[in-house]
Amino acid sequence: MAFPSSELILNPDGSIYHLRLLPEDLADTVILVGDPDRVALVSRHFDTIDVRKQHREFVTHTGTIGRKRMSVVSSGIGSDNVEIVMTELDALRHIDLQQRVPRTEKRPLNLIRIGTSGSLQEDIPVDSVVASRRAVGLDGLLDFYATDESRWQPDLAASLKTTLGLRLQPYVAEASPVLFESFHDVVSSVPGFTLTCPGFYAPQGRHLRLAPKIDGVIGKLQAFRHEGWRLTNFEMETAAYYLFGALLGHEMLSLNAIVANRATGEFSTRPEQTIEKLIRDTLCWASDL
């Protein structure tokens, strides 16, 4: 049965609703960034650019590096945006938009997030790079998708839920092992266990005028251990990317430039250079995928 126009929403030119992309606009390898302005910082390293599209915070450039076709897409901030980006990128690959029916052929994407993040541990300094092997999601998205709960590391999630005294149910999702090993072999990075938070201030233990509800949240996160793993960093998208990468069958890796260190109270004095280096290293590696 065809998806009705209220479920699979297309624009008058046939493009997918939020991203405003047609299937041919997208390369097999996609760099994902949060900040729409970061799209041009990535695509300026392309040799050619043949697609430039924008709708709201979703900016896309597609072009080539040598003979490799690549896209870069911005998501804006937060897991709710990731849900839209991943669902619509997947639709461009796995739904026949004209007939409005699923395709049978599997067409997985290589998806690589280049983001910024705060370190939780003193020994993971500002300006380093964390390649997230696993991520814990505090965003609640898992409650809305039909899936086998046992797949999302319920023991680890339950342990963190107890440590923080949360009412919401965390979930744990993993990077593509292939992309993680390949990147980690080539580029100097810290293997990460990333916490994805539904906010930047109290959910990350920041106290401006509103106090966080969880007492000593940073200390609790720093001390948290599970089977020898500790939490390395936090940000606002990685777990959702890993959840949807796994559910939809795409290869997904999240790379985070550390711009703040919450153990030492530092913020990077040169975040632009750190992000630029991560962009260059990532493109050099990804153009060989």
Q: Which stretch binds ligand URA (CB under 6 A): 44-52, 100-108, 111-119, 187-195?
A: 111-119
- Indicate whether 236 belongs to the interface with ligand URA (CB under 6 A): yes
- Indicate whether 229 belongs to the interface with ligand URA (CB under 6 A): no
- Indicate whether 235 belongs to the interface with ligand URA (CB under 6 A): yes
Half-sphere exposure of 82 (CA within 13 A, CB side): 31
Q: How many whole angstroms separate alpha carbon 41 and alpha carbon 272?
A: 10
Among the listed residues 175, 177, 29, the one whose alpha carbon sits nearest the alpha carbon of residue 89: 29
The CA distances from residue 73 to 190, 206, 210, in Å, are 25, 29, 33
Q: Give CA angle at 223 (218, 225), nearest 5°.
A: 130
- Indicate whether 15 belongs to the interface with ligand URA (CB under 6 A): no
- Indicate whether 281 belongs to the interface with ligand R1P (CB under 6 A): no
> Looking at 200, 218, 271, 276, which residue binds ligand URA (CB under 6 A)?
200
Among the listed residues 124, 239, 220, 77, the one whose alpha carbon sits nearest the alpha carbon of residue 170: 239
- Indicate whether 118 belongs to the interface with ligand URA (CB under 6 A): yes
Map the footprint of ligand R1P across residues 200-239, applying CB under 6 A: 200, 235-237
Q: Which is nearer to ligand URA, 43 or 116 (CB)?
A: 116
Task: State the binding partner of 23 from ligand URA, ligand R1P, none, CB within 5 to 8 A by kind.
Answer: none
Task: State the binding partner of 39 from ligand R1P, ligand URA, none, CB within 5 to 8 A by kind.
Answer: none
List, in order, residues 6 or more apart from 272 with CB less than 8 Å away: none
> What is the binding site for ligand URA (CB under 6 A)?
116-118, 200, 204, 235-236, 259-260
